Chains A and B, each alone.
Chain A
């Protein structure tokens, strides 16, 4: 089956402190295509440039050079206001430190991206409850983040990432702050989203074991893609 590309990165360069003696080239011409429904792991040590790559994929940052198309949209040409709309509709972020809004309960946290998308109140609550049920957090939806464990918080964060049914889920070390048992549950959730809903997921991790579970492993070193092979999930 011909699958359409969701992420298309062509000759991406990223340089910092341009024009100063400390000029730093972090990405050296990255070419990467992620197709719809793929579960891709990006592996690399700290300082390898994987965070910068994630920021560019997540539309939080722009490359210095190169072409980037996300779900058919030219991200280089998009203005800042359009980028926040794209982040809202097409990208679901999952962070290592969860980043839930501390003063509002789980339900309101899941509702938030829909609020910015202009979804009406009743639909928002309906969808948020549905998502929380999916991540098995429906019984704790009225709890504040501080009343939840790390694994529970991350599950709420995943539900939040799914709120506007994005084209990709971008997970940055989602199990980094969790013990292996709860980390396992979170990973299982990603697999469930991938298999049952056909979500395109980009997982950034430094754990080789977790990366092995995905369809494709991409290794980054010194701003270059140095390795690309199929994982166990892809076989």
Chain B
């Protein structure tokens, strides 16, 4: 009953000083809304990153090369150059050979669904009179399409013969088909295209059109017409164009039910045997799921760090509340004296001012939450991810703003409670 009266009184005194109350709340509003907004964006990004990585295949294992840590060399040369060893670039000779991959497939056939390897030929343009489409010419193995979940809109994938012989056939994106064939995907299939890469012209036959996944490539500032999409050609054809034989990197799509993290280690050990004699490089394999974990925890850390900074804004807001409460009790010294003379115990004076401080913080907190959720949704929308405001952060903020009210309201309230009634009644 007294609590209800106290809340009513607190609202009265807020109403009497609207401008002051608003300015006081502003600190809390800014603090809470930024914490919520950041957490929402962080959450959304974590969700979308892990979703898009999983769509790339959580079961995928990426195998690549990393520089060996040659201790002798690094100490000597490290001292000389003032850095930890010299960076080397892996050459084609260092790459995984076709034989290694074949051996690997023979050994672990049951664990592997497909092997995805690619070779970038370069970026160029498909030209047809005044029509053009920007493309990255990429040689791809059959597994590449499985690993990257690429779907066809028209035509067909490369046949085994085309892979083996390195036939000059191509898959273009539906976006490129829009530019070149006025959106008629069926017309594109079977047509001859000429591609200009580094001032060299190559002729390909289009055998299929795939669906270009815009979200996978992030945002692009160019218009749809100028967007660069991938044009896939058989891996062997690309190898011939780039005059290379080996693979610096490839992706293994594991069969379902295989523990990809465990298999990544097995894979690394398998290829390590081939690299015992290589002076500079050793294979490294890591699974997508461990990468997802890494990314998620990294984003979480970033979110936490920014939230802490926003939390400082909240702290400043809390100090503002304390300041205004001190002003308020000084202004109402006579009221406090009167209440004490009429028999208010110290505890109820204290409660009255703590409740007032909590009310300020809670109203600020609620406004902050609404603004924060809206801001977070707007930001997430801008980044192209679905907003997922975290319920826990909302509950946390509400509790936290109440805690701020109690914490920063206690000192002024206690000061009010301990006032000498005679002095307070005499106060002008």
| A-B pairs with beta carbons under 8 A, tally | 68
Interface segment out of the listed B51-59, B269-277, B339-347 = B339-347
Q: Does B338 contact A (CB under 8 A)?
A: yes
Q: Is the CB of B337 within 8 A of A99?
A: yes
Expressed in whole angstroms, the minimum distance between the Cβ of B221 and any Cβ of chain A is: 57
* Complex alpha-carbon distance, A80 and B338, angstroms: 16
Expressed in whole angstroms, the minimum distance between the Cβ of B249 and any Cβ of chain A is: 73
Per-position 1/0 for A81-107, Cβ under 8 A of B = 100111111000101000111111000
Interface of chain B, main secondary structure: helix
Q: Is the CB of B343 within 8 A of A101?
A: no
Tell me which of B16, B341, B343 contacts A85 (CB under 8 A): B343
- Which residue of B has the minimal Cβ distance to A88? B343
Q: Is the CB of B337 within 8 A of A113?
A: no
Q: Does A112 contact B (CB under 8 A)?
A: yes
Q: Is the CB of B338 within 8 A of A84?
A: no
Q: Does B198 contact A (CB under 8 A)?
A: no
Q: Does A228 contact B (CB under 8 A)?
A: no
Interface segment out of the listed A116-124, A134-142, A182-190 = A116-124
Q: Is the CB of B334 within 8 A of A99?
A: yes
Q: Is the CB of B422 within 8 A of A112?
A: no
Query: Which residues of B are found within 8 Å of A164, using beta-carbon distances?
Result: 343
- Which residue of A has the minimal Cβ distance to B335? A101
Given A115-B2, A115-B5; A84-B346 close (CB under 8 Å): yes
Q: Is the CB of B343 within 8 A of A84?
A: yes
Per-position 1/0 for B321-350, Cβ under 8 A of A = 000000000000011011111111110100
Q: Is the CB of A55 within 8 A of B422?
A: yes
Q: Is the CB of B343 within 8 A of A116?
A: yes
Q: Is the CB of B13 within 8 A of A160?
A: no
Query: Which residues of A are found within 8 Å of B338, using beta-carbon distances?
Result: 95, 99-101
Query: Which residues of A are found within 8 Å of B343, using beta-carbon distances?
Result: 84-89, 113, 116-117, 164
* Complex alpha-carbon distance, A113 and B343, angstroms: 7
Expressed in whole angstroms, the minimum distance between the Cβ of A26 and any Cβ of chain B is: 13
Q: Does A63 contact B (CB under 8 A)?
A: no
Q: Does A126 contact B (CB under 8 A)?
A: no
* Complex alpha-carbon distance, A5 and B396, angstroms: 60
* Complex alpha-carbon distance, A208 and B21, angstroms: 48
Query: Which residues of A are found within 8 Å of B341, using beta-carbon distances?
Result: 58, 60, 87, 93, 99
- Which residue of A has the minimal Cβ distance to B6? A115
Interface residues of A (CB under 8 A from B): 55, 58, 60-61, 80-81, 84-89, 93, 95, 99-104, 112-113, 115-118, 120-121, 160, 164
Interface residues of B (CB under 8 A from A): 1-2, 5, 9, 12-13, 16, 334-335, 337-346, 348, 421-422, 425
Q: A81-B345, A99-B337, A104-B9 are in contact. List 9 more A-B contacts (CB 8 A).
A: A80-B346, A93-B342, A102-B335, A103-B9, A113-B343, A116-B2, A116-B339, A116-B342, A121-B1
Closest 4 CB pairs of A and B: A88-B343, A99-B338, A87-B343, A84-B345
